[in-house]
Structure formats: C-alpha cells, structure tokens
Amino acid sequence: MIIAANLKTNLTREKTISYIQHVENFIEKNALLQEILVFPATSSLHLHNKKVKIGAQNAYHTYNGAFTGEIGYEQLEEFNIKTILIGHSERRHIMGETQESLVKKFNFYKELGFRIVYCVGEPLEVREAGHQHMMEYISKQYDGIDTAYDNLVIAYEPVWAIGTGLTPTLEDIVAIHKELKAKSKAPLLYGGSVKVTNVKEILALDGVDGVLVGSAALYAEHFCTMCQYAQELGK
C-alpha cells in the first residue's frame, strides 16, 4: 500500500525536519514495508529521501528557464526528488491549472521517469448532478494522461471531502474506485478527510491501494499510526 502525506503550505523547514525524522524512526522501529510518501512545502525539498520518499507538490514542465515563481527539473534533481503530485484540486481550482497544463507537466515528468501521483475528483455540484455526470467529469480529468504509465499512482479525492471532515460512504468509495480501476491499473489512493479514526476502514476497502492525507497528516504521530494500520492490513 501507499500512504502519502500532503503537507501543503504548512510546517516550517525546521518542523518538517523533525516531522520526517519522526516518521523515519517509526518506519525503522516498526519495520514498515509500505511505500511512504511525504509532499512537504518547496522549502523542505532538500530533506534526504531515505525510507520516506519526498515528493514535490508541484513543478513546472521545464529543466530551467524564465518561469518566475516556478521550480523545474534541475532544482528537483539537485535534491534527488523523483516524485511529484499533479492535478491536486487546490491546483486545479485555486491556482486555475487546466487539464491542458496538467498534461504538459505529466508528460514532461513522465519522460523523466518520475513517480507521478495524479489526482482526480469532483466538486460538490458535480456530484449532486448525478452519478453519470460525475463519472463523465472525472473521466475528462484522464484526458491526455497515459493511464498505462508504469510509475503512475492515481488519487481519487472528491473536492468536497478535502479538508471538510466529510467523506463519501464506504460503498461510494468502493463503487467509484471500481469504475476508476477500469480506466487504469495504477495503484489507486483515496483522499479527502482521511484521519486516524476512519483510515482503517477505508484502507480495507476493495480497490483502495492507499490514502493521500492532508490535515490529519500534519501530526507525525497520526500519520505514523495510519502507516501502522496499513502495515497491519497487510494488503
């Protein structure tokens, strides 16, 4: 299974150092075998990739160049970053990234062999418009994406569940994951208000290969407990 923490624009570099250290120690002590990914703020990308794989929350599709405010491959390579998150709903909806721009990033980092965690998910109004409409909406987020890429991980994250404490029912997660698995054999994570109290039942579901956790992962102890549960499930 894959257990991923998206720290977003949280934790200073100093706090991230102790966070990663805590998780590293926990993995070591408990001999965890899961794939554990942490996406810290850009200022903490220099932390070493050891047991925890460090990934970038975003990067531009360039080696270098005149792209003010962006980070490119050369800067990631310096820190040995080989993992990237693409298509998170905050990038799509707050930063206004289009499917076209996500595809450019995807293709660029795919050519470089990156592990790509690619996020899809529907806003509330789309879900409320009915299942078929919702699945069509999500399908469009697969447009231009090589779903057979062997270093791909997909994260299904309903936008209305992110940071809200709301989650779909377990039956819904199973049903949607089943449909998404038909589109790609890549490991499929669930994300959106995952926390210590619900992670076990979510991880146990058919078609769930891991979780992408935001708020609840900000506490290293909580994130470690989730990693431990994943190990216990032995999926």
Binding site residues, ligand PGA, CB under 6 A:
6, 157, 162-163, 191-194, 212-216
Question: Is 157 assigned a catalytic role?
Answer: yes
Nearest 5°: the CA angle 123, 7, 233 is 85
State how far the Cα of 223 lies from the Cα of 227, in Å rounded to an integer: 6
* Nearest distance, CB of residue 103 and ligand PGA, angstroms: 20
CB of 210 or CB of 214, closer to ligand PGA? 214
* Nearest distance, CB of residue 157 and ligand PGA, angstroms: 5
Q: Exactly one of 90, 97, 122, 157 is catalytic; name it.
A: 157
CB of 73 or CB of 120, closer to ligand PGA? 120
Provide the β-strand partners of residue 138: none
CB of 73 or CB of 88, closer to ligand PGA? 88
* DSSP secondary structure, 83-123, as one string: EEEE--HHHHHTS---HHHHHHHHHHHHHTT-EEEEEE---
CB of 73 or CB of 191, closer to ligand PGA? 191
State how far the Cα of 158 lies from the Cα of 127, in Å rounded to an integer: 9
- The two tokens of residue 2 are 């894959």
* Nearest distance, CB of residue 78 and ligand PGA, angstroms: 26
> DSSP E strands: which ranges in the chain?
2-6, 35-39, 52-54, 83-86, 115-120, 152-156, 188-191, 210-213
Q: Exactly one of 88, 90, 177, 222 is catalytic; name it.
A: 88
**Nearest-CB residue for ligand PGA:** 214
Q: Which residues are designated catalytic?
A: 88, 157
